[in-house]
Structure 1
Amino acid sequence: MSELVFPVGHYVGERHPEGVQVVRVGVEHRPLTADEFGVWVLAHGAPEDGAVWTTDDLLRLAEETELADAGRHVEELTAKGLLALVPAEGGPEAVAFVEKYRLAPLLVGLGNTEDDPDDYALGFPLLDEPVAVVPVGSYELWQWGHVAPSMWHTCEVRAKVAADLNEPSGSEEVLAGLLADLRPLLVNSCAYLDLASR
Structure 2
Amino acid sequence: MSDPDRAALLFPVGQPLGELHARPGGGPSCHRLRIGRRPVHLTDPAEALLWQLAHGGVPGGAPCTAGAVLDRAAALGVAGAADVLRTMLRSGTLAAVRLEPAEAAAFARRLRMCPMLLGFGPLPSGGVAVGLAGGVLAELPAPIHELWRWAGIAGSIWEVCAALGLALPAGAARPPTESLVLALLGDLHPMLTAGAVYLDAALTMETHTTTNTQQSLLS
Could you tell me whether the CA contact under 8 Å between 2:155 and 2:203 is conserved in 1? Answer: yes
- How big is the shift at 1:164? 4.1
Distance in 2, matches of 1:49 and 1:102, equals: 28
- How big is the shift at 1:12? 0.2
Give the aligned residue type for 1:141.
Answer: L
Distance in 1, matches of 2:108 and 2:94, equals: 13
Could you tell me whether the CA contact under 8 Å between 1:44 and 1:187 is conserved in 2? Answer: yes
Q: Which residue of 1 aligns with 2:119?
A: 109
2:127 is aligned, of 119, 127, 136, to: 119
CA RMSD across the alignment: 2.3
Q: Which residue of 2 aligns with 1:14?
A: 19
2:140 is aligned, of 128, 134, 151, to: 134
1:172 aligned to 2:183? no
- How big is the shift at 1:80? 0.8
- How big is the shift at 1:171? 3.8
1:41 aligned to 2:46? no
**Equivalent residue of 1:130, what SS?**
strand
- How big is the shift at 1:54? 1.1
Distance in 2, matches of 1:62 and 1:48, equals: 13
- How big is the shift at 1:120? 1.8
Give the aligned residue type for 1:45.
Answer: G
Could you tell me whether the CA contact under 8 Å between 1:145 and 1:154 is conserved in 2? Answer: yes
Q: Which residue of 2 aligns with 1:85?
A: 96
Q: How many residues align?
A: 193
Q: Which runs of 5+ in 2 are unaligned?
A: 1-5, 23-27, 205-219
Distance in 2, matches of 1:105 and 1:49, equals: 26
Q: Deviations over 1:130-160 (max 9, x none)?
A: 2222222332222111111111112212333
TM-score by length of 2: 0.78
Identity of aligned residues (%): 32
Distance in 2, matches of 1:4 and 1:101, equals: 14
Change (3 A) 1:29 1:120: same
TM-score by length of 1: 0.86
Could you tell me whether the CA contact under 8 Å between 1:138 and 1:184 is conserved in 2? Answer: no
Mark the structure with the bigger radius of gyration. Answer: 2
